[in-house]
A = this chain, B = another copy of it.
Amino acid sequence: MSSSPRLRSLNIDNINPHVKEAKYAVRGELAIKSEEYRAQLKKAASQDPPTPPDSPFPFDKVISANIGNPQQLDQKPITFFRQVLSLLEYPPLLDNEKALRTSFGYEQDVIDRAKWLLEEVNSVGAYSQSQGVPAIRQSVAHYIERRDGYASDPANIYLSAGASSGVNTLLNVINASPKTGILVPIPQYPLYTATLAVLNARVVPYYLDESRGWATELDTIKESYQKAKAEGIDVRAIVVINPGNPTGASLSADDVASVIKFAAEEKLVIMADEVYQTNIFLGTFTSFKKGLRDLQNSDSTGKYDNVELASLNSISKGMVGECGHRGGYFELVGFDAEVQAQIYKFISIMLCPPVVGQCLVEMMVNPPKEGDPSYELYNKEYNGIKEGLRERAYALYEAFKKMEGVELGEPQGSMYLYPTIHLPPKAIEAAEKAGRKPDDFYCHRLLDRTGICLVPGTGFGQKPGTLHIRTTFLAPGTEWVGRIVDFHREFMAEYS
């Protein structure tokens, strides 16, 4: 067959230019290369006898520290969640409760939860309402009420296929023209910039302050906002990732209030990405919903009425870590009813979020309680995961602290560390020759030498002249940390 591309309808120069502009480094060139390495290692290992006898690379395992994917690494799913899901997938198991209990240790609350969810969803193989199963939205609303001490209405809860799909929905509805702009923190999780690129809308970047533990600086936000306005951009919304990705920083209640005040003043929608709300080591989590209700309660002028807030959460993170199940939700506060109807219609085109993911959302927000038969195990598993994350974060932090030219603050939360790296001029020259940004060059070398996949700071954004790397702290053990340390020493020596 001829391979002449001129016969084709589609080529790189005539497809959607906005798709082309989108960048998503978390799963970009490095991640693709790491998957190829993994496949080659698997193939080499499956030869009988394994030939070549040694790994085709100077490592025998690929470590994906590029993405927050807990169960790909060490994290075990929480037993209660998965036992319930097994019953939802095959309800005839419920016909022999005795065998479930005696042969498999299913507790009564597992069986009860499964029965209740089955009643509500009918079958996990059936489409649900586009907004999500009503009873599950009710559970989410109760969780938010317990968390914040303020009412939450299930009619304003939208279940989604992970938080990503919720962000996609909201940005699709908000962005009306190429002049619409959204304030996005830098560094940020690149879902935001990628989606805005596809939508041909404007990213209005505001830098977080690395010197203050990646805090949100109101003055910086205002400056970015004013600059964008002066350029004719119709700034509609501000994205806040709290706790931060890739930074891990959690906002203080005061910082939350400042952002809300600013948004109220400038009539901006607040998009609060709160998927790491339980992944906190330092500080505490203040939800934007609570912050907003507090302000509304303390004010009599009505200036915080109608502040529009969309808060997102997910089953992918926290101690749940069920990202492969694609579940999440967002709550809308203060939105116009007609706008909400359009949001509903938009999500209805994709029918509904995965129903098993919805059921996991339900269990995440409504886990076994003290006194329930599954509570003790649930609690042990939950705390074990939390403690494991903390330990690994600090082990990695201690290693990074000792590395030449690496600077970082104490781990605060989320699943990431985002240290600054200072590379010698010769390394920067070598990167330039290779046609790569220096941090990208560094990460490629690291992958090629150690099998460890990180994401360079260019993938998240960084102040001009600074370089960073992002690593998850999910991979088990410390052996891989040692490999980074060794690699870094050699790299620095090579280019010094």
Contacts of A175 in B (CB 8 A): 16
Confirm or deny: A108 has a beta carbon within 8 angstroms of a beta carbon on chain B: no
Contact string, A127-159, partner B, CB cutoff 8 A, digits 1/0? 111100010000000000000000000000000
A71 touches B161 (CB 8 A): no
The complex places the Cα of A129 from the Cα of B38 at a distance, in Å, of 12
Confirm or deny: A306 has a beta carbon within 8 angstroms of a beta carbon on chain B: yes
Within 8 A of B (CB), among A192-211: 194-195, 198
Known contacts: A267-B7, A324-B125. The answer to whether A24 contacts B176 by CB under 8 A is no
B354 touches A161 (CB 8 A): yes
* Segment among A86-94, A366-374, A399-407, A445-453 that sits at the interface with chain B: A86-94
Which residue of the partner chain B has the closest CB to A303? B7
A8 touches B336 (CB 8 A): yes
A354 touches B357 (CB 8 A): yes
B104 touches A161 (CB 8 A): no
Confirm or deny: A351 has a beta carbon within 8 angstroms of a beta carbon on chain B: yes
Confirm or deny: A496 has a beta carbon within 8 angstroms of a beta carbon on chain B: no
Contact of A90 among B26, B85, B356 (CB under 8 A): B85
- Minimum CB–CB distance from A297 to chain B (whole Å) comes to 11
Confirm or deny: A55 has a beta carbon within 8 angstroms of a beta carbon on chain B: no
Which residue of the partner chain B has the closest CB to A304? B1
A1 touches B90 (CB 8 A): no
Known contacts: A338-B12, A346-B19. The answer to whether A7 contacts B306 by CB under 8 A is yes
**Interface size of A as a range:** 35 or more
A237 touches B9 (CB 8 A): yes
Confirm or deny: A262 has a beta carbon within 8 angstroms of a beta carbon on chain B: no
* Segment among A116-124, A375-383, A408-416, A482-490 that sits at the interface with chain B: A116-124
Known contacts: A1-B305, A161-B354. The answer to whether A173 contacts B16 by CB under 8 A is yes
Known contacts: A2-B306, A126-B71, A308-B9. The answer to whether A22 contacts B339 by CB under 8 A is no
Confirm or deny: A458 has a beta carbon within 8 angstroms of a beta carbon on chain B: no
A324 touches B127 (CB 8 A): yes
Confirm or deny: A168 has a beta carbon within 8 angstroms of a beta carbon on chain B: yes
Contacts of A305 in B (CB 8 A): 1-2, 4, 7
Contact of A323 among B26, B79, B126 (CB under 8 A): B126
Contact of A336 among B5, B176, B354 (CB under 8 A): B5
Contacts of A104 in B (CB 8 A): 92-93, 96, 99
The complex places the Cα of A326 from the Cα of B9 at a distance, in Å, of 30
Contact string, A322-362, partner B, CB cutoff 8 A, digits 1/0? 11111000000011101100101110111111111100000
The complex places the Cα of A168 from the Cα of B349 at a distance, in Å, of 10
B22 touches A345 (CB 8 A): yes
Confirm or deny: A33 has a beta carbon within 8 angstroms of a beta carbon on chain B: no
Contacts of A123 in B (CB 8 A): 71-72, 77, 324
The complex places the Cα of A5 from the Cα of B1 at a distance, in Å, of 61
Which residue of the partner chain B has the closest CB to A267? B9
A11 touches B87 (CB 8 A): no
Contacts of A28 in B (CB 8 A): 345, 348
Confirm or deny: A269 has a beta carbon within 8 angstroms of a beta carbon on chain B: yes
Contacts of A336 in B (CB 8 A): 5, 8, 10-12
Confirm or deny: A35 has a beta carbon within 8 angstroms of a beta carbon on chain B: yes
The complex places the Cα of A16 from the Cα of B345 at a distance, in Å, of 13
Contacts of A165 in B (CB 8 A): 350
A-B residue pairs in contact (CB < 8 Å), sample of 8: A9-B236, A9-B268, A11-B338, A22-B345, A86-B86, A125-B321, A127-B324, A354-B356
Q: Which residues of A are at the interface with B, using a C-beta cutoff of 8 A?
A: 1-5, 7-12, 14-17, 19-20, 22, 24, 26-28, 32, 35, 39, 67, 69-72, 77, 79, 82-83, 85-90, 92-93, 96, 99, 103-104, 121-130, 134, 161-162, 164-165, 168, 172-176, 191, 194-195, 198, 236-237, 267-269, 296, 302, 305-306, 308, 321-326, 334-336, 338-339, 342, 344-346, 348-357
Which 7 A-B pairs have CB atoms at the shortest separation, nearest pair first? Answer: A99-B103, A324-B355, A86-B90, A27-B348, A85-B89, A71-B123, A71-B126
